[in-house]
Structure 1
Amino acid sequence: MSTLETLVAGEFAALADALAPLDADRWAADSLCAGWTVAHVVAHLTMAARYPADRFGAELAADGYDFTRTSDRLADVDAALPPEALLADLRSDTMATFAQPGGGMAGSLSHVVVHGLDVTVPLGLGRVGADAAVRTVLDQVVGTDGHSLFGVDTTGLALRASDVDWAHGRGEPVEAGAGELVLALAGRGGVPALAR
């Protein structure tokens, strides 16, 4: 198993452990993804556990190959699954080994870290994953052209995580927790210097 695979498996397991004690009201709480509850985000994050490639291809074809439309539709349907089923999907071998189409295991890692934070932060759980995973994702999303992969402007900023050993760039110092930085770089806000 590669380092990335180990990190992906660990992040899915940590997220499942963090969400397992939640009652139904908290599964229905808002996430940081507009219009999606915690259950919607987990359903989206674990699509591969329920939709093998051929079935997902059929779902995509039904929506005219509009990935966003298919993703939103399936998240809306699958958010109604019992939390136990969604937790089982988080803990599945499928998710632990799933490589994102076009993004590979690196894409899978950023997917689980960002969406994990999308649910754990508003729930008051904070960052539940490993330091190594969040450092790897920060390196992936920070970008090299003055913008994050999500288009957030980082020009002239010296970013530094306050809770892990990670820094990037030169200029005006900007310090925040690693999870906060990931969310800000992914366009979720929360770090004023990155909301420009």
Structure 2
Amino acid sequence: MSMGFRYATGRVLWEFARARASLDRTTDRLAHRDAAHHPDVRLAGFLRDHARHPWRPPVGGLAAALGHDVVHGLDVTVALGADLHGVRLCAEDLDRSFGTGEPLYGTAQDLLLIAYGRRLPAGRPHGADCHRFVAA
């Protein structure tokens, strides 16, 4: 969650090229490197130290910044992976749905994680195709 304001643009672009233009591989590699080189208290400190930093994502404005922080904050507790083809996400705690196809039900928080490619623990999403979005 802190790479956007801790790493210089040139460093991120170098890592991006090294990861064959995959943002997932880039961020995963940098996160693993950070975890190997910093104790947990320091990793948490990166967030505290930059809590008021004016960083914004390159696209999407404040809404994207909020989505970024919520999703990566939830990453702390949920594993990664997912494809939304043929699925309609139906939030049970909001009057909202997204997509077309077989309904997948869950909390808005869980569906946001799924929309960002995360897999959830068994029992969290439910619907005919829920197995596609559950961590193995």
Match for residue 30 of structure 2? 74
Indicate the residue corresponding to 1:108 in structure 2. Answer: 65
Unpaired segments of 5 or more residues in structure 2?
none
Which residue type is aligned with residue 168 of structure 1?
Answer: R
Alpha-carbon RMSD: 3.4
Distance 1:151 1:108 in 2: 22
| Aligned positions, number | 118
Shift of 1:175: 6.0
Gapped runs of 5+ residues in structure 1?
A: 1-44, 123-149
Alignment pair present for 1:160 and 2:101: no
Q: 1:82 to 1:109 in 2, by over 3 A?
A: same
Cα distance between partner residues in 2 of 1:93 and 1:61: 26
3-state SS in 2 of match to 1:117:
helix
Deviation at residue 109 of structure 1 after TM alignment:
1.4
> TM-score, structure 2 length as denominator?
0.62
Q: Counterpart of 1:87?
A: 44
Q: Return the alpha-carbon distance in structure 2 between the equivalents of residues 173 and 70 of structure 1.
A: 32
Give the distance between the partners of 2:103 and 2:84, measured in 1 at CA. 20
Contact 2:2 2:47 (8 Å CA) reproduced: yes
CA drift at 1:83: 1.5
Match of 2:111 among 172, 175, 181: 181
Whether contact under 8 Å (1:160, 1:173) holds in the other structure is no
1:158: how far off? 5.1
Q: Which residue identity is paired with 1:52?
A: A
| 1:108 to partner: Cα distance | 2.2
Note the C-alpha offset of 1:95: 6.9
* CA distance, structure 2, for counterparts of residue 54 and residue 110 of structure 1: 25
By relative contact order (CA 8 Å, sep 6+), the higher-ranking structure is: 1
Question: Which position in structure 2 is the counterpart of 1:49?
Answer: 5
Amino acid at match of 2:41: E
Alignment partner of 2:63: what SS? helix
Q: CA deviation at 1:51?
A: 0.2
C-alpha distance 77-158 of structure 1, shift in aligned 2 (>3 A):
closer
Aligned match for 1:191, one of 118, 125, 131: 125
2:92 match: secondary structure: strand
Structure with greater helix share of residues:
1
Paired with 2:35 and 2:95, the residues of 1 have a C-alpha distance of 37
Q: Tell whether the 8 Å contact from 2:4 to 2:55 is kept in structure 1 after alignment.
A: yes
Aligned partner of 2:76 among 119, 144, 164: 119
Report the TM-score, using the length of structure 1 for normalisation.
0.46
**1:160, 1:174 within 8 Å by CA — same for their partners in 2?**
no
